[in-house]
Amino acid sequence: MDIVQKYFDDFTATQQDQLKALEELYRDWNEKINVISRKDIESLYEKHVLHSLSIAAVFHFPPGTQVVDLGAGGGFPGVPLAIFFPEVEFLLVDSIGKKLKVVDAVSEAIGLKNLQTRHCRIEDVKDKKFDFVVSRAVAPLKDLWQWSRPLIRKDPAKHTVRLIEKGDHAPGLICLKGGDLTQEIFESGTRPHIMAISDLFTEPFFEEKYLVYVPK
């Protein structure tokens, strides 16, 4: 928790309580359903919570923004982002139901009111449009963009995001990626904006980790 507060110091008391509760909840659930690797559970706040919040360090989602977490797994980046943005609506989608069982339990335990889950493939979400799709280490950018594009609303008039110190940005895909992305970006046919997370957080874990933003 200290490592999160190193970079974010304006949480409400409720948000602090919610974040602090994550460690015990994920430890307990990880004994039943392995949603986080055993070695990473010891670094939950650095490798999962803070990594997820790198999106919040760059993007500001106004109240009413609608976000879908593609391949949410055990709830990252969706759960930390839902804590950070309590007035933003999050839908966490995954094809593995037992992982969403963990998300539902964690969400209920900490009192998240702005998060829902759906057990399905992302291609089966056809009843809603979103301002942003977020994802972490799920698939190549080519696939992520193919799945995301139909879900992203075309009209940004009512739902916009401000990229801090960079101006207004359109709805799109925001994903967390690592390593050399040259070939992956080429194969995707997209022209994304790339931001190094190591410019935000100084820990060695974040070297060669990036925020990739593809506007629609």
On whether the CB atoms of residues 198 and 55 are closer than 8 A, the answer is: no
Beta bridge partners of 172: 132, 215
Backbone φ, ψ for residue 16 (5° rounding) = -60, -45
Q: Tell which residue, 80, 90, 85, 84, has the closest CA to residue 63.
A: 85
Give residues with Cβ within 8 angstroms of 174, minimum separation 6: 55, 59, 132, 133, 134, 135, 211, 212, 213
Q: Annotated binding residue at 36?
A: no
Q: Annotated binding residue at 71?
A: yes
Give residues with Cβ within 8 angstroms of 125, minimum separation 6: 68, 91, 93, 118, 151
Q: Annotated binding residue at 84?
A: no
Q: What is the dihedral of CA 153, 129, 58, 158, to 10 degrees?
A: 60
First-to-last alpha carbon distance for the chain, in angstroms, is: 35
Give residues with Cβ within 8 angstroms of 5, minimum separation 6: 11
Q: Annotated binding residue at 136?
A: yes
Known binding residues for S-adenosyl-L-methionine are 71, 76, 122-123, 136
Annotated binding site: 71, 76, 122-123, 136
